[in-house]
A = this chain, B = another copy of it.
Amino acid sequence: MPDKTLRMRRAGRTDANRPIMLAIAGDSAAGKTTLTRGLVDALGPGRCVSLCADDYHRYDRSERRGLPFTALHPDCNHVEIMEQHLQLLATGAPILKPVYDHSTGELTRPELVEPAQVVIVEGLLPLHTKLSRACFDVTVYLDPPEEIRRGWKVARDTGARGYSEDQVLAELERREPESEAYIRPQRAHADVVVRFAPIESRDDPADTPLSATVSLRPTIAHPDLSGVLQPGLSRAMHLTLERDADGRPVESLHVHGYAPREESVAVEKAIWTALGEPDRDTPECLGRIGDRRSEPLTIAQLLLLYHLIGVDR
């Protein structure tokens, strides 16, 4: 029956309307959801859908208790199904996505996800395999210093998820070998690496927003920032040519948390206009961290929106 493949192909649909696929990878509490939320809100639900790759957990919380690895391990996840679903979304097909309920630790009823013009996939392992990486147009890795991430994880998990600080710290220690083996290697496969951190050489007040270093690898075409990086705005951000940790050349955009807000906002406006959406103001949903604002986060989000808005494929 050699004609079955052909029959299926003929009877199927074409993938004319394939979405732009953005991956946001990083360790637990690295800021993936915060970065994603601003992008989703800026694009609007009609244009953008986001999903979490951690829903592909193979075991629920009680089953994981007896296992020799944590939720970070690829064997703890349906990686092959994740690859399959990413391929489907990338070709414009809907998926029935599994659902992991973080509040109960249970796997529950799956949900239909129809691809929009933009699909954002955030999670622990979206860039783990060659096939999963092949599904994305733009890949991002969130790389805060470990002590910053630790603080974020303690704050989140002792709050919303009801753990004690000791429990969270013990879990971080248990996960460390798998972070090293599976999460951090994804950094090398990112087109954009975003690192939020204080600037160590400065003695800024404690409430100064974190600065951002946005590493732009020459693996994709980034926005031309020459019109934005004007001398009068260099306190808000500047660009340097560097070698990455692995020796590869990279352009690093340093966005300063200590810059006066009006200068950061002028940079934002310039990038937003360059995106070809001058009629609207820079969306207010960008830069939000809970009820605070961060201009470096806004700028990082704008640089990603460049790849998602009005792209000519």
Contacts and interface: CB of A to CB of B under 8 A. Distances in A.
Interface of A: 1-2, 4-5, 7-8, 10-12, 15, 18, 58, 60, 78, 80-81, 83-84, 87-88, 90-91, 93-96, 98, 106-110, 112, 129-131, 133-135, 137, 313
Nearest to A8: B134
Contact of A4 (B8, B81, B135): B135
A83 B93 CA distance: 11
Shortest beta-carbon contacts, A-B, top 5: A7-B134, A11-B131, A107-B109, A11-B134, A11-B130
B12 A131 contact: yes
13 contacts: A1-B313, A4-B135, A5-B91, A8-B134, A58-B112, A81-B94, A81-B95, A81-B112, A84-B88, A84-B93, A84-B94, A84-B95, A96-B110
Contacts of A10: 134
Contacts of A78: 96, 112
A109 B104 CA distance: 13
A313 B2 contact: yes
**Stoichiometry (number of copies):** 2
Contacts of A96: 78, 81, 96, 98, 110
Nearest to A15: B5
Contact of A12 (B18, B87, B109, B112): B87
Contacts of A313: 1-2
Contacts of A106: 109
Contacts of A12: 83, 87, 131
Nearest to A56: B96
A286 B297 CA distance: 66
Contacts of A91: 5, 8
A98 B97 CA distance: 9
Contacts of A108: 108-109
Nearest to A313: B1
Nearest to A10: B134
A313 B5 CA distance: 13
A247 to B, nearest CB: 25
Nearest to A138: B1
Most buried by B among A11, A18, A93, A137: A11
A130 B5 CA distance: 13
A8 B80 contact: no
Contacts of A137: 1, 4
A130 B13 CA distance: 11
Contacts of A129: 11
Given A12-B83, A78-B96, A84-B95, 12 more contacts: A2-B313, A4-B135, A8-B91, A12-B87, A58-B112, A60-B109, A84-B88, A84-B94, A96-B98, A106-B109, A108-B109, A109-B109
